Structure 1
């Protein structure tokens, strides 16, 4: 673990254990806008149930906070002037405020007033690598917590299950499972997601818009007889309208088996 990330981790533990901090209440349908006195340099939440988005290319004072139902957590924000801000996080179905101007007096201290924030980070990870690491960690978390079955479809001895749909940051994480109860191995050709609108029986009004993945975690190439394979499919965040449905298509590579859920 790099020194900066180790410091952040240690500081999160400290403020969670000892510091008296304000609680921010958030949910997954509204953004809570936080406006800081100085541009945001770094920010991290203690649990993937919560996301804090801010501009990393042109640092600004605005950050957008969202959260999902589950355990409480915390948020640590470092600004360009070296001040650190910490808040407790909790989920609430209804929010009492949509924005908040954070004051300098709310900081928990200064970590490096004599140096710009960029000097604290040596050999920063490229943005692509950071995104990949974020997708991997979140996928592992959602993969482990998915215990229920939201939908399932069985055809030709192949069962396709949707176990969880979770929003984190700007992405949607779908936990899928393939079980092979047929007499032959199932070699996977592809899994594709669509937003479907209209009635498939009325081709003139029916539309399928593909949801292209940004990351796939533990995507299987083959599911052997009697086995189950669970994986995570990550796509840009989306919502479904009143007449829209999520469509998942699974197709065999060397064969004619196909499952549509």
Structure 2
């Protein structure tokens, strides 16, 4: 016979079950925060392994911002003197890593600068908290970063017919790779002159091969999703390369992907043209051994 006592006992058991196991499931996914001391008259600097993408402050007790010309350095300090309560902030970096910090006020902190990569290495902190970025689709940012670095470090060349040369500068496409709806283009520039090549900007366009007179040219600009490493200068008598990440696409036989590299205050601009036959022959990343070490 079902009695009120039996019903209350069952409800109590169910309540305890969800309370106990619900807390356990959340605890397993807990992001362990770093502890940080800040003050009003001095600035604290945090050096992250890669560029910072997003910062969220827990309260107006803190002020923070990326350092100028250093996208992986965060400046943070107290906005109010001698605040008593603990506050927090979070950071997401370009490789999809999530960092959490609990912050307290200290009028005279012992340390003002921290290297997050060194801290993780020294403490054997193995947790990986990946954040998904919309522009990368289903690709984890850490995997994307690993692919970019692996292609760059292996430095292999299997495309040998796409190059440009002018005034001692040579540009070439070393390889095209494809993975999960993304293209990875491996480029290299060689400077055989005594004058450094300063990169002003690069463009990536899908254009018609030949445009007849009185015909409107069709042109579509592509925006790189990632670049590793950043290419700003090719020193005299040296080489420099990088890997560009683009959304996957195809073109017609009457079109090309035109990559243009413009020299700052110069005329040694470089142009590479890639046809659809080159794109569809891209090497799958699955054939490579990706280095995911941080």
Greater share of helix = 2
Q: TM-score, normalised by structure 2?
A: 0.45
Higher Rg: 2
